[in-house]
Amino acid sequence: MKEALQFLADVQCKETIEGKTYAGEWPAYMQMHKRFVMLGTRQKYRDSNSFTTSGIYNLLSEMYLTDTSLTQILPMLRASFPEIQSYATSQQYNFWKLLPPNRDLQKGPQPSPVPWVRRPTHYKLRSRYINNAANVENDADDTASGNLAGLYHYQIFGKQISLRVESDSLSDFRGASEHRLASFQLFDTYLDTLRKNRHWYNYLFNGCAHSGAYMTWLGQEEAFNKWSIVKTFGHNQIFYLKQSICYPKPYRPYIPYGTNDVDAVVNANVLAYLAQKGELASSRGTTGAHRFIYHQAVRKRWSRAGHYYPNRYHFHYAVSRALAAGDTALIPTARLMLQHLMESQRQAGSYRSRRRVNHGDELQSTTYALLALLNFRKIGLNVPQTSLNQAVKFLLNQRQRVDNKVFWRGGVYFSGGTVVRNVLYFTSDAYTTALVAQALQKYMMQENLSQSITGRD
C-alpha cells in the first residue's frame, strides 16, 4: 500500500503548462475505443478533468482520516486541492475547465471578448457542433465530489476553504468555511419531478418515471408543452438541425440532448456527500434517490443503472460508499447487491463486467467489487472472508512494478454516456491505483489480517 502511495506522489503533476497539464492533478486519458460519428477514430489523449483529481483526492483523504500516520498523503492533498477549485463556479463544479475555444463556434462574427468554454485539454474536437456540445453544464456528480473534497480538506487541515469562482477567462478566490459548501438545497433544485421532458435512456432502460431522484445536470433543460417519447425520438433523429432540442448553442453551457437525466451512480454519489455533511434528512431528494437506486437493483440492471458508468460494479461501489457514509436506507439495496456479488465472483476471485467494456475490465471490476464487499461487511452484512481473500489475491497478482513503485493499470472508470458509454472512455493508472490502495487498507484493517496481506504466516 505504501508503495502505491509513493507511485501516486511521483506521478502527481508538479507544474502547470497552461492548456496542457496542471500542478496537483494526476494523469488521466480520454480515448476512443472505436470510430464514432463526429468524434473521430480510435485514439487516446491525456485529459485534465475534475472527476479524476477530486476522486483521487477523496480516496486519499479517506485513507488519511482512517489512519493519520499516513502523513505522506498530506503533501498530495495540499497540491491537488487548489487544482480541484479551478473547476468550480461558486459551489458548483464542472467536469472540464474553462479554456479558450479551439476554433470559432458560430458562423460570422464572434462575441467580443470571446467567452471561454468547457472542453477537453488535448482531445481534438473538430466541428462547431461537437465543440459546442462539449461545453457542458455544471453537474451534480462533480459538484458532490468537489464539495466532498472541500469537506475533507476542512476536516484534515482545519482551515478555511478557498472556493474558486470562474468567470470566463478570469478567476478569483474567496474564503469559505465548512458551512459555505454546497447544501442539499442545490441538489434539491434539480429533481426528477413535475418535468415536461424525459431522457430516452431513462425511458428505455431505467423505468421509474417521476422518481423524485436527483438529476445529473445543474441547469435548465428544454421543455415540451406535452412530452411523449415519440417527440423525443423525433428530435434525436434531427439532432444536427437547429430546430432540435438536442442542438447545442454556441458559447452556452449544454445539457446533452437538451434533456436532463437520472443516473443511479450519480444519485449514490450525491447521497454519499450529503451523508458525510449530515444533510440526508433535510433533502427532499433522498427518498426519490433511494427509490430509483433500489428500482435498478431489484430489476438487476447492473450494467444499465449508470448512464456514464459502463462498468456494472461501479454501481455496487457507489452505493456502498453512500452506505459507509451513513445512509442506512440503502441496506435493502445492499443486500441485493451482495447477492449479486456472491453469485458473480469468478473462480480466481475476480469479477468481470460486460465484454464490450474494455474486454470485461477484470481488474477495475474486481476493485469496485472488493470495495463494495468491504463496505458492506463493515456495516454488518454477512460477507464471507474467503470472497475477500480471493479478490485481494487476484488484485495483488495484477500489480505492476516499475523502479520500486507499485501501481495498477487503469480501467474504465467513466465514459461519455448513453450512445458512447461503450465507445468514449476515461482511464487512469493513478485513479485505479488509489482505489486499490484504499481497498488494501480496508482489508488490512480487519482483525488479524495484517499478516496475510504481506504473505507472512
Task: Indicate the range of 34-43, 102-111, 261-270, 343-352 predicted with least confidence.
Answer: 34-43
Question: Per residue in 99-122, pLDDT tens?
Answer: 999 999 999 999 999 999 999 999
Which residue is associated with the grid cell 475547465? 97
pTM over 0.75: yes
Q: Quickly state the pLDDT bin for 35 (edges 50, 70, 90).
A: low
Distance CA 357, CA 351 (A): 13
Share of the chain above pLDDT 70, in %: 91
Q: Which amino acid is at 412?
A: V
Question: Per residue in 278-331, pLDDT tens?
Answer: 999 999 999 999 999 999 999 999 999 999 999 999 999 999 999 999 999 999
Q: Collapsing DSSP states into helix, strand and coil, what is residue 276? A: helix
- Backbone phi and psi for residue 36, each to the nearest 5 degrees, phi listed first: -145, 145
Mean pLDDT along residues 41-65 = 94
C-beta of residue 332 within 8 angstroms of C-beta of residue 343:
no
DSSP state of 86: T
Q: Quickly state the pLDDT bin for 420 (edges 50, 70, 90).
A: confident
**The C-alpha cell that represents 37 in the structure block:** 460519428
C-beta of residue 395 within 8 angstroms of C-beta of residue 348:
no
Distance CA 233, CA 19 (A): 37
Which residue is associated with the grid cell 459555505? 180
Mean pLDDT along residues 237-252 = 96
Distance CA 161, CA 176 (A): 5
Task: Please tell me whether the peptide bond between 256 and the residue prior to it is cis, using omega within 30 degrees of 0.
Answer: no
Which residue is associated with the grid cell 475555444? 101
Three-state SS for 125-181 is: CCCHHHHHHHCECCEHHHHHHHHHHHHHHHHHHCCCEEEEEEECCEEEEEEECHHHC
- Give ∠ CA 222-250-164 in degrees, rounded to 5: 90
DSSP 46-75: E---HHHHHHHHHHHHHHHHH-TT-TTHHH
307 Cβ partners below 8 Å, 6+ apart?
201, 216, 261, 263, 266, 417, 418, 421
Distance CA 123, CA 43 (A): 9
221 Cβ partners below 8 Å, 6+ apart?
195, 197, 255, 258, 259, 260
